[in-house]
Amino acid sequence: MTTLPKPRQPELKTSLPGPKTAAIMERDSQHLSTSYMRPYPFVPDHGEGVWLTDVDGNTMLDFFAGIAVSTTGHAHPHVVRAVQEQVTRFTHVCLTDYPQEITTSLAERMVRHVEKPGEKWRVFFGNSGAEAVEAAVKLARNHTGRSHIISTIGSFHGRTYGAITLTGSKTKYKRGFGPLLPNVSHVPYPNPFRPPLGATAGTCGQAVIDHIEGLFQTIIPADEVAAIIIEPMQGEGGYIVPPADFLPKLRSLCDRHGIMLIFDEVQAGMGRSGKMYSFQHFDGQNGMNCQPDIITVAKGIASGMPISAMLAKESVMTWPVGSHGSTYGGNPVAAAAAHATLDLLEGVVKHPGCGDSLMENAAQVGEFIMAELKAMQVEFPFIGDVRGAGMFIGIEFVMPDGRPDGKLRDAASMAMFERGLLNLDCGEAVIRISPPLILTREEAATGLEIMRDALRTLK
Ligand SMILES: Cc1ncc(COP(=O)(O)O)c(C=O)c1O
Which residue range(s) make up the domain with 90?
A: 83-346
Q: Which atom of ligand 1 approaches the CA of 133 most closely? A: 4
Residues 139 and 279 in one domain: yes
Residue 320 Cα to ligand 1 midpoint, Å, equals 26
Number of Cβ atoms within 10 Å of the Cβ of 398: 18
Q: Which CATH number is 109's domain given?
A: 3.40.640.10
Which residue, of 346, 361, 380, is where some domain finishes? 346
Q: What is the pLDDT of residues 384-398, one digit of tens each?
A: 999 999 999 999 999
Q: Which atom of ligand 1 approaches the CA of 130 most closely? A: 11
Which residue's alpha carbon is nearest to atom 3 within ligand 1? Answer: 157
Within a domain: 324: yes
Grade residue 1 by pLDDT with cuts at 50, 70 and 90. Answer: low
Nearest-Å Rg of the Cα atoms of the chain is 22
Q: Which CATH number is 401's domain given?
A: 3.90.1150.10
Q: What is the pLDDT of residue 459?
A: 75
Whole-number Cα distances in Å, 117 to 108, 121, 294, 373: 15, 11, 17, 40
Q: Is the CB of 157 under 6 A from ligand 1?
A: yes
Residues 255 and 366 in one domain: no
- In angstroms, the CA 73 to CA 62 distance is 9
Q: What is the pLDDT of residues 125-184, one digit of tens each?
A: 999 999 999 999 999 999 999 999 999 999 999 999 999 999 999 999 999 999 999 999
Residues 302 and 330 in one domain: yes
Within a domain: 217: yes
Q: What is the pLDDT of residue 287?
A: 85
Q: With CA atoms as reference, report the closest residue to 121 among 295, 346, 344, 328.
A: 295
Q: With CA atoms as reference, report the closest residue to 406 among 423, 386, 392, 427.
A: 427
User: Residue 403, CB half-sphere, CA atoms under 13 Å: how many?
Assistant: 3
Q: Is the CB of 231 under 6 A from ligand 1?
A: yes
Residues 40 and 89 in one domain: no
Within a domain: 14: no
Q: What is the pLDDT of residues 10-53, one digit of tens each?
A: 999 999 999 999 999 999 999 999 999 999 999 999 999 999 99
Which residue's alpha carbon is nearest to atom 4 within ligand 1? Answer: 157
Whole-number Cα distances in Å, 121 to 147, 318, 445: 23, 12, 40
Residues 305 and 385 in one domain: no
What is the average pLDDT across 365-388? 98
Within a domain: 231: yes
Residues 369 and 281 in one domain: no
Which residue's alpha carbon is nearest to atom 7 within ligand 1? Answer: 129
Q: Residue 382 pLDDT > 90, yes or no?
A: yes
Residue 239 Cα to ligand 1 midpoint, Å, equals 13
Residue 273 Cα to ligand 1 midpoint, Å, equals 16
Within a domain: 247: yes
Within a domain: 252: yes
- When divided into structural domains, the chain yields a total of 2
Residues 45 and 194 in one domain: no
- In angstroms, the CA 414 to CA 416 distance is 5
Q: What is the pLDDT of residue 337?
A: 98
Residues 311 and 183 in one domain: yes
Q: What is the pLDDT of residue 21?
A: 98
Q: What is the pLDDT of residue 2?
A: 67
Which residue, of 346, 371, 406, is where some domain finishes? 346
Residues 339 and 366 in one domain: no
Residue 206 Cα to ligand 1 midpoint, Å, equals 27
For a ligand 1 pocket test, name from 69, 134, 157, 278 the mutation site with the most ligand atoms within 8 angstroms of its C-beta.
157
Within a domain: 218: yes
Q: What percent of the chain has pLDDT over 90?
A: 97
Residue 267 Cα to ligand 1 midpoint, Å, equals 7
Residue 130 Cα to ligand 1 midpoint, Å, equals 6
Q: What percent of the chain has pLDDT over 70?
A: 99
Q: What is the pLDDT of residues 56-114, one digit of tens each?
A: 999 999 999 999 999 999 999 999 999 999 999 999 999 999 999 999 999 999 999 99
Q: Is the CB of 235 under 6 A from ligand 1?
A: yes
Are the beta carbons of 290 and 248 closer than 8 angstroms?
yes
Residues 272 and 248 in one domain: yes
> Whole-number mean pLDDT of the chain?
97
Handedness of CA 89, 91, 94, 95 (dihedral sign): positive
Q: Residue 200 pLDDT > 80, yes or no?
A: yes
Residues 387 and 331 in one domain: no
Q: Which atom of ligand 1 approaches the CA of 268 most closely? A: 1
Which residue, of 292, 317, 346, is where some domain finishes? 346
Q: What is the pLDDT of residues 290-328, one digit of tens each?
A: 999 999 999 999 999 999 999 999 999 999 999 999 999
Residue 222 Cα to ligand 1 midpoint, Å, equals 27
Which residue's alpha carbon is nearest to atom 16 within ligand 1? Answer: 267
- In angstroms, the CA 130 to CA 201 distance is 31
Within a domain: 67: no
Residues 246 and 385 in one domain: no
Residue 15 Cα to ligand 1 midpoint, Å, equals 33
